[in-house]
């Protein structure tokens, strides 16, 4: 009995040890040769085991690993089953030296196993069976015009690729060039041409970029490379022959460069290297006290723009208040080294007299001549006359920054945003806790279930009501007025403590005007007395008292006698105490507009209802009950989310028309027509909008009538005509294919008449599409906008420069957006005219 147990244990040990010894992880192939810059495959094979997680390979010098694929295989030989699992890695050697993958440990489902190391030699990979290497049929070079440049000098870099024509299948236009320590632009798109070299046709492709080095020294950059598809043979035969293509990397020579240090610089040099132009402009040269004077500096040119910090400082008398916005840097599209830096400073004179604005100097290093150059603006004399009446402060996009630039007087400087975000310090261990702190012990299962059930019901309900209350408070139309009322109380207390003499009260008094404008919802940044009286009269019977307070505040801020009346504070506090604003109504949280967003979210989860349909139903309900402003707001959200929804545009136009906002309705109905020109509804809307708004745009009038060439044009929308033009091109291409097949006798005699018919159809369709798109004109542009209100077209995007050229712009005009800038939009019109208008005067027809 004991001998049989020993024998059974011995057999079991052999079986288990055999299974254990059979588990291994190895590389396949275990050695051999890899082609330089050729993509090959190496498999990490797991025998009778599987990996525990993703494999972590050791770093291998000279070998790049790609993203692996996976495969598995099970085999049975002589009643013995074996399983293998493999990670197949694409690899590419990037050095002409042997590659060694060292041994390493890897985790498997059978424990940690060791992968033995392998060694591969690297040689030139032949191209198919031709016996040629990649260097025999292709080459790449990296060149610069000169090997020595100045520090900061921008110079061109050229990458040239040459491949024998019969071996080239495709080219990846992305050039990989680690340009450090150079700063370089993106490469241009390769420009391929065919040429003949030693009697053999070759493809030549050239890409260019520009770069510069910050520091002097002798540098050698890494080579540039790109991937090409090389034909290494064919598979199949006859018509079914297909080329076999391999991806190969072409690598250029490294770029050797000597960067010379700049000679000793003058004191005013700030680091600019290149070719620059510097201009200064002051408008107007004669102004009254309180009227703005704009001083513009502009720097343009080619150079090391990434290293330029800003424009030179300017000196101005303390008799000016300064409103200085941020500098505007505009780079030429797709470049790093061609740009313009502009800075507008608005000077508000406080005293009459004649002032001299000294010249501004800018120094830069010219690499072409190897010398420093200094350009200076001409000195300008500005004449300030006495103000004949109190002048309101100029409107600006932000609060004015008041400071003096006089070099003889210490003056505060405006706070500017930091150019670099500071890096926070690393976390450190905190101090010990002096008092004990206990946690919560587990609770019984029944209590846990009850708590979970109550949490599932009560917590979402409370959160829902809380969010609805927050939404109700945010949308309360009286919220901003209540906040302004509280701010006015604090401001009056501050005014009482500051005294009654200028300039101690100027800052709080300006805040008083700002909060008063918010309280009475005055729609202007710098209103006059009639507008103040009209705005306050809509809310209060005490409009006369508030208007008088406003006039006295204006007179104290901008008049010659800079003082407030003795009883001004008492009258202001009395007028403020008489203001009564209704508080927030807690029951408003149960309104549908506040509960609906969360209710719609629940409906999405449980019944998969589309949010757009819920918004449409909400807008429709509001329209049906006569709440046209609510319907307008809802449909505006739908149009903003989906600008191409012509039904929403139609509905929005209806809601606007019910409020006698016919111009805006005509704009949205025009957009609806441009998205569905065949519908009777959109055609009727367009005609109605033109009639009721009085905006008789000739092109829209002809489209609404549908006569002459517009009868054909409105058979489809501009987008549909563009698709028709694409379809015509495809049809013409198909006709050419049929003619080629007919010429090579690959098809029967039906090919030629079919091709001719298709060509005629394509020509007619293309002609109709081109004719119709020309009839639509600017309405066929994706950036087309509708000017719904008469406004002024300006040459520059500002209202402060009174000397700029302007032109009236009629309502109903159609234009195309070129670009936008801080609430301004630049428009292009037929004939090449362009200008800036406020963005709120426009309605996009497609966006």
Q: Over the stretch 114-152, which tens digit does the pLDDT of each residue have?
A: 999 999 988 776 666 556 777 778 888 999 998 899 999
Q: Which single residue is written with the structure tokens 């147990």?
A: 5
Span 772-781, pLDDT tens digits: 888 888 888 8
- Give 204's strand partners: 162, 193
Average pLDDT of the residues in 185-207: 82
In sequence order, what DSSP letters do the residues of 566-612 get, joined into one string? TTHHHHHHHHHHT-------GGGGGSHHHHHHHHHHHHHHHH---HH
Strand partners, 338: 302
Q: What is the rounded CA–CA span in Å between residue 775 and residue 699? A: 9
Instruction: Give the residue-averaged pLDDT of 53-64.
Output: 88
Measured torsion, CA atoms of residues 323, 559, 286, 834, in degrees rounded to the nearest 10: 50
CA–CA separation, 204 vs 161, rounded Å? 6
pLDDT greater than 50 at residue 269 = yes
**pLDDT band for position 469 (50/70/90)?**
low
Mean pLDDT of 471-489: 75
pLDDT score at 396: 36
Q: What integer pLDDT is reported at residue 302 of this predicted model?
A: 92
Mean pLDDT for the stretch of residues 603-627: 56
Query: What integer pLDDT is reported at residue 579 of this predicted model?
Result: 79
Mean of pLDDT values over 170-189: 86
Q: Which of 177-186, 488-497, 602-611, 690-699 has the lowest mean pLDDT?
A: 602-611
Q: Tell me what pLDDT residue 157 has.
A: 93
The mean per-residue pLDDT over the stretch 505-531 comes to: 74
Peptide bond into 618 cis (omega under 30): no
pLDDT of res. 404: 34
Residue 156 pLDDT: 94
Going by pLDDT thresholds of 50, 70 and 90, the confidence category of residue 365 is: very high
Q: Indicate if the alpha-carbon torsion angle 784, 789, 790, 792 is positive or negative.
A: negative
* Strand spans (E) along 350-487: 353-357, 361-366, 371-376, 380-385
Looking at residue 701, what is its pLDDT? 79
Partnered with residue 784 across adjacent β-strands are: 816
What's residue 273's pLDDT?
92
d(CA 38, CA 640): 51
Q: What is the pLDDT of residue 399?
A: 34
How far apart (Å, rounded) are the C-alpha atoms in residues 114 and 26?
9
pTM equals 0.40
Looking at the predicted structure, is the pLDDT value of residue 419 above 60? Answer: no
Measured CA angle at 287 (ends 284, 290), to 5 deg: 120
pLDDT of 726: 81
Q: Which of 96-100, 225-229, 538-542, 734-738 has the lowest mean pLDDT?
A: 538-542
**Residue 318 pLDDT > 80, yes or no?**
yes
User: pLDDT tens digits for 661-672?
Assistant: 888 888 888 888
Contact 108, 23 (CB under 8 A): yes
Band of the pLDDT at 423, cuts 50, 70, 90?
very low
pLDDT band for position 158 (cuts 50, 70, 90): very high
Q: Which of 421-435, 557-571, 780-794 has the highest mean pLDDT?
A: 780-794
Q: Which residues contact 395 (CB under 8 A, 6 or more apart)?
A: 525, 526, 799
pLDDT digits (tens, 9 = 90+) for 279-290: 888 888 888 888
Q: Between residues 573 and 424, which one has the greater pLDDT?
A: 573
Give the Cα separation of 262 and 152 in Å (integer). 9
Q: What is the pLDDT of residues 737-758, one digit of tens each?
A: 777 666 666 677 787 888 889 8
Model confidence at 211: pLDDT above 90: yes
% pLDDT > 70, the chain = 76
Find the radius of gyration of the CA atoms of the chain.
39
Residue 428 — very low, low, confident or very high, per pLDDT cuts 50/70/90?
A: very low
- Say yes or no to pLDDT of 421 above 50: no
Q: Report the C-alpha gap between 814 and 783 in whole angstroms.
A: 10
| pLDDT higher than threshold 80 for residue 720 | yes
Instruction: Please name the residue that has the structure tokens 């990996």.
Output: 51
pLDDT value for 801: 60
* Mean pLDDT rounded to a whole number for the chain: 76
Pairing of strands 69-77, 80-93: antiparallel
Query: Is 65 strand, coil or helix?
Result: strand
Length of the chain: 847
How would residue 236 be classed by pLDDT, with cut points 50, 70 and 90? low
Res. 409 pLDDT band, cuts 50 70 90: very low
Spatial separation of the C-alpha atoms in residues 61 and 94, rounded to whole Å: 9
pLDDT reading at 782 higher than 50: yes
pLDDT at 44: 92
pLDDT of residue 240: 60
Rounded to whole angstroms, the Cα distance separating 585 from 779 reads 48
């Amino acid at each position: 009995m004991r001998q049989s147990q020993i024998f059974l244990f011995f057999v079991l040990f052999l079986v288990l040890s055999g299974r254990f010894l059979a588990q291994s992880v190895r590389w396949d192939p275990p050695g051999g040769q890899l082609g330089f810059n050729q993509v090959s495959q190496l498999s990490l094979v797991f025998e009778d085991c599987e990996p525990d997680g993703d494999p972590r390979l050791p770093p291998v010098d000279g070998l790049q690993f790609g993203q692996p694929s996976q495969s598995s295989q099970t085999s049975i030989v002589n009643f013995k089953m074996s399983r293998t699992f493999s990670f197949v890695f694409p690899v590419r050697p990037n050095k002409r030296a042997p590659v060694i993958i060292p041994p390493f440990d890897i985790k498997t489902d059978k424990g940690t196993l060791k992968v033995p190391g392998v060694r591969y030699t690297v040689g030139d990979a032949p191209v198919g069976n031709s016996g040629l290497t990649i260097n025999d049929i292709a080459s790449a070079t990296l060149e610069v015009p000169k090997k020595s440049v100045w520090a900061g000098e921008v110079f061109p870099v050229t990458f040239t690729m040459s491949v024998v024509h019969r071996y080239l299948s495709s080219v990846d236009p992305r050039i990989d060039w680690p340009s450090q320590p150079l700063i370089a632009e993106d490469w241009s798109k390769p420009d391929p041409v065919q040429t003949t070299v030693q009697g053999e046709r070759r493809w030549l492709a050239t890409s260019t970029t520009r770069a510069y080095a910050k520091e002097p020294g002798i540098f050698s950059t890494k080579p540039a490379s790109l991937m090409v598809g090389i034909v290494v043979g064919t598979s199949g035969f006859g018509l079914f022959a297909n080329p076999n293509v391999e991806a190969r990397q072409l690598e250029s020579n490294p770029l050797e460069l000597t960067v010379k240090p700049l000679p000793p610089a003058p004191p005013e040099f700030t680091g600019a290297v290149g070719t620059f132009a510097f201009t200064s402009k002051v408008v107007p040269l004669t102004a009254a006290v309180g009227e703005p004077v704009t001083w513009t500096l502009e720097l343009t040119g080619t150079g090391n723009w990434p290293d330029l910090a800003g424009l030179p400082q300017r000196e101005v008398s303390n008799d000016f208040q300064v409103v200085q916005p941020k500098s505007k840097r505009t780079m030429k599209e797709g470049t790093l080294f061609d740009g313009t830096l502009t800075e507008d400073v608005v000077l508000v004179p406080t005293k009459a007299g004649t002032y001299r604005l000294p010249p501004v100097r800018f120094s830069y290093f010219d690499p072409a001549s190897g010398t420093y150059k200094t350009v200076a603006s001409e000195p300008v004399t500005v004449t300030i006359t006495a103000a004949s009446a109190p002048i309101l402060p100029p409107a600006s996009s932000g609060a004015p920054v008041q400071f003096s630039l006089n070099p003889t007087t210490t003056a505060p400087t405006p706070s500017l945003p930091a150019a670099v975000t500071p890096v926070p310090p690393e976390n450190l261990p905190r101090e010990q806790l002096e008092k004990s702190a206990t946690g919560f012990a587990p609770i019984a299962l029944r209590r846990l279930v009850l708590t979970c059930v109550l949490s599932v019901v009560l917590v979402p309900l409370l959160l829902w009501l809380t969010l609805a209350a927050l939404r109700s408070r945010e949308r309360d139309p009286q919220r901003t007025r209540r906040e302004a009322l509280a701010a006015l109380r604090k401001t009056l207390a501050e005014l009482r403590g500051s005294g009654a003499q200028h300039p101690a009260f100027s800052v709080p008094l300006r805040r008083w005007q700002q909060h008063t404008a918010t309280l009475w919802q005055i729609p202007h940044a710098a209103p006059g007395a009639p507008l103040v009286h009209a705005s306050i009269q809509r809310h209060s019977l005490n409009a006369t008292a508030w208007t008088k307070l406003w006039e006295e505040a204006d007179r104290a801020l901008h008049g010659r006698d800079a003082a407030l009346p003795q009883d001004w504070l008492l009258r202001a506090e009395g007028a403020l105490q008489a203001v009564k604003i209704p508080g927030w109504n807690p029951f408003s949280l149960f309104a549908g507009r506040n509960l609906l967003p969360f209710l719609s979210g629940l409906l999405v989860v449980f019944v998969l209802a589309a949010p757009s349909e819920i918004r449409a139903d909400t807008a429709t309900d509001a329209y049906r009950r006569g709440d046209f402003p609510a319907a307008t707001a809802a449909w505006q959200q739908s149009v903003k989310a989906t600008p191409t929804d012509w039904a929403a545009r139609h509905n929005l136009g209806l809601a606007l028309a019910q409020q006698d906002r016919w111009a805006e309705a005509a704009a949205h109905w025009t957009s609806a027509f441009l998205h569905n020109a065949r519908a009777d509804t959109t055609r009727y809307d367009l005609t109605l909008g033109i009639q009721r708004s009085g905006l008789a745009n000739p092109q829209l009038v002809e489209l609404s009538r549908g006569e002459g060439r517009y009868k054909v044009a409105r058979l489809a929308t501009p987008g549909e005509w563009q698709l028709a033009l694409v379809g015509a091109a495809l049809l013409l291409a198909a006709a050419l294919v049929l003619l080629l097949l007919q010429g090579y006798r690959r098809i029967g005699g039906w090919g030629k008449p079919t091709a001719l018919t298709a060509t005629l159809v394509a020509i007619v369709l293309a002609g109709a599409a081109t004719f119709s798109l020309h009839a639509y004109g600017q309405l066929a542009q994706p950036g087309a906008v509708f000017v719904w209100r008469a406004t002024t077209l300006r040459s520059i995007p500002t209202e402060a420069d009174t000397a700029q050229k302007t032109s009236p712009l009629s309502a109903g005009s159609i234009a195309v957006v070129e670009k936008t800038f801080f609430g301004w939009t630049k428009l292009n019109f037929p004939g090449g005219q362009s200008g800036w208008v406020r963005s709120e005067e426009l309605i996009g027809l497609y966006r």
